[in-house]
């Protein structure tokens, strides 16, 4: 893609700080090494081949089969599709495996196991699986002590739908409010999958893979004995929700949206910018945290955080910026044409609104443009 000067960018644009991104990658690599587990980074946030190449992992996690195809075409051959497989997608998954990709799928019910085993035979293509474990009551998965766990394994076919182990995602970590709570959640996550793997092995089923994953627990775990791999994704960019959880600082957020002031409503103390929810997303994930960041925290064009300014409202192409207390901004503050940056509440949701990252070097200049993919 054609690069342009930072000063000439037409807004809104998605910015990625290369130095911060690289620092975040190194932090998680060091973390996985210290915990003695393999890192299988989740590419659902970045969705970019260039970003994945910087991560430097041979094995990755994806959230769509389109992602699996996208990364496989770039040479990534060990891929976990970490969403419960719908029966209608099994033929698609089989076609990816026929291209020499070691694609692993997940499921969490006897019905899904029966359908998977039958489809694999009919498609004449082996489809390996992990069983998803519910470690915190957050969403999908089977509980570690549920008899259904063994029934799922029994319904899989060792030849056509071999069982590779277990995985979980501690999404409940996003509701934690203290470091102690995050440490406890990380241990709860670990115990859930280790216990599940032990039950499967005791019943005569293989479970070589024991996989955990969420950025908050990955950065909070004290030990991961019995776990074989760690999955996390948002750590690459971080966001305001992660900062609100205390697992990163504002300086660790590598992602921002560049926007331009297009007007004012002085009677309401509003600044109007050209980044609405089509550029920022409408994720309001910080609303449940101690500090509500609205639809994004405002920074200067150079990236200096303006702690008192947030995006208070987002229409399709209009963002409304105001002080947290609703107070006046001053007659000359942020004039028409001034440019600002917005830090995202949820990096995955904001990045999904754009087709490329403007990669900024340490001097704030555009070093490269990294295309990204979206969709299913």
Beta strands in the chain (DSSP E): 13-17, 38-39, 59-62, 78-84, 102-107, 129-133, 163-168, 209-213, 229-231, 255-265, 270-273, 297-300, 305-314, 319-323, 339-343, 356-360, 366-371
Q: Which residue ranges form the domains of the chain, and what is each CATH number?
A: 37-236 (3.20.20.10), 254-371 (2.40.37.20)
On whether the CB atoms of residues 13 and 257 are closer than 8 A, the answer is yes
Q: Report the pLDDT value the prediction gives residue 2, as an integer from 0 to 100.
A: 63
Q: Report the pLDDT value the prediction gives residue 131, as an integer from 0 to 100.
A: 98
Q: Report the pLDDT value the prediction gives residue 138, as an integer from 0 to 100.
A: 86
Q: Which helix (H) or strand (E) holds 326?
A: none
Q: Report the pLDDT value the prediction gives residue 332, as an integer from 0 to 100.
A: 80
Q: Report the pLDDT value the prediction gives residue 373, as an integer from 0 to 100.
A: 97
On whether the CB atoms of residues 318 and 276 are closer than 8 A, the answer is yes
Give the SS3 label for residue 161.
coil
Computed from CA positions of residues 64, 66, 70, 75, in that sequence, does the dihedral angle turn out positive or negative?
positive
Q: Report the pLDDT value the prediction gives residue 331, as an integer from 0 to 100.
A: 66
- β-partners of residue 364 are none
On whether the CB atoms of residues 365 and 299 are closer than 8 A, the answer is no
Q: What is the pTM of this model?
A: 0.95
* pLDDT tens by residue, the chain, 376 residues: 667 899 999 999 999 999 999 999 999 999 999 999 999 999 999 999 999 999 988 899 999 999 999 999 999 999 999 999 999 999 999 999 999 999 999 999 999 999 999 999 999 999 999 999 999 988 899 999 999 999 999 999 999 999 999 999 999 999 999 999 999 999 999 999 999 999 999 999 999 999 998 999 999 999 999 999 999 999 999 999 999 999 999 999 999 999 999 999 999 999 999 999 999 999 999 999 999 999 999 999 999 999 999 999 999 999 999 999 999 997 688 999 999 999 999 999 999 999 999 999 999 999 999 999 999 9
Q: Report the pLDDT value the prediction gives residue 1, as an integer from 0 to 100.
A: 61
Beta strands in 85-208 (DSSP E): 102-107, 129-133, 163-168
- 363: buried, middle or exposed (CB in 10 Å: 19+, 13-18, 0-12)? exposed
């Amino acid at each position: 893609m054609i690069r342009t000067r930072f000063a000439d960018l037409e807004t809104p644009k998605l910015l990625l700080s290369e130095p911060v991104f690289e620092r975040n990658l190194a932090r998680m690599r060091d973390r996985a090494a210290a915990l003695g587990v393999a890192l299988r980074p989740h590419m659902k946030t970045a969705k970019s081949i260039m970003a994945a190449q910087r991560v430097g992992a041979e094995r990755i996690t994806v959230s769509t089969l389109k992602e699996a195809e996208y990364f496989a075409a770039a040479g990534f051959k060990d891929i976990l599709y970490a969403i419960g497989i719908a029966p209608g997608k099994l033929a698609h998954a089989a076609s990816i495996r026929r291209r020499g990709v070691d694609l692993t799928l997940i499921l969490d019910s006897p019905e899904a196991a029966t359908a998977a085993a039958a489809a694999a035979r009919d498609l004449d293509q082996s489809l390996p699986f992990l069983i998803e474990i519910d470690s915190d009551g957050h969403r999908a998965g089977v509980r570690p002590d549920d008899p259904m766990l063994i029934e799922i394994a029994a319904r899989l076919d060792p030849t056509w739908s071999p069982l590779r182990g277990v995985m979980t995602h501690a999404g409940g970590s996003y509701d934690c409010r203290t470091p102690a709570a995050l440490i406890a959640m990380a241990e709860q996550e670990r115990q859930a999958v280790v216990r599940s793997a032990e039950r499967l092995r005791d019943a005569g089923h293989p479970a070589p893979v024991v996989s955990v994953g969420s950025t908050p627990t990955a950065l909070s775990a004290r030990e991961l004995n019995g776990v074989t791999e760690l999955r996390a994704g948002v750590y690459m960019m971080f966001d305001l929700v992660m900062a609100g959880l205390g697992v990163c600082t504002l300086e660790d957020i590598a992602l921002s949206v560049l926007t331009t002031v297009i007007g004012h409503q002085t009677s309401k103390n509003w600044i109007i910018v050209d980044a609405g929810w089509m550029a920022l997303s409408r994720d309001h994930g910080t609303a449940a945290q101690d500090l509500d960041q609205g639809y994004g925290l405002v920074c200067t064009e150079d990236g200096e955080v303006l702690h008192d300014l947030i995006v208070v409202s987002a229409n399709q192409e209009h963002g409304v910026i105001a002080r947290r207390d609703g107070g006046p901004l001053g007659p000359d503050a942020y004039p028409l044409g001034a440019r600002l940056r917005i830090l995202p509440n949820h990096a995955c949701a904001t990045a999904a609104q754009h087709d490329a990252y403007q990669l900024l070097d340490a001097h704030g200049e555009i070093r490269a443009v990294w295309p990204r993919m979206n969709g299913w």
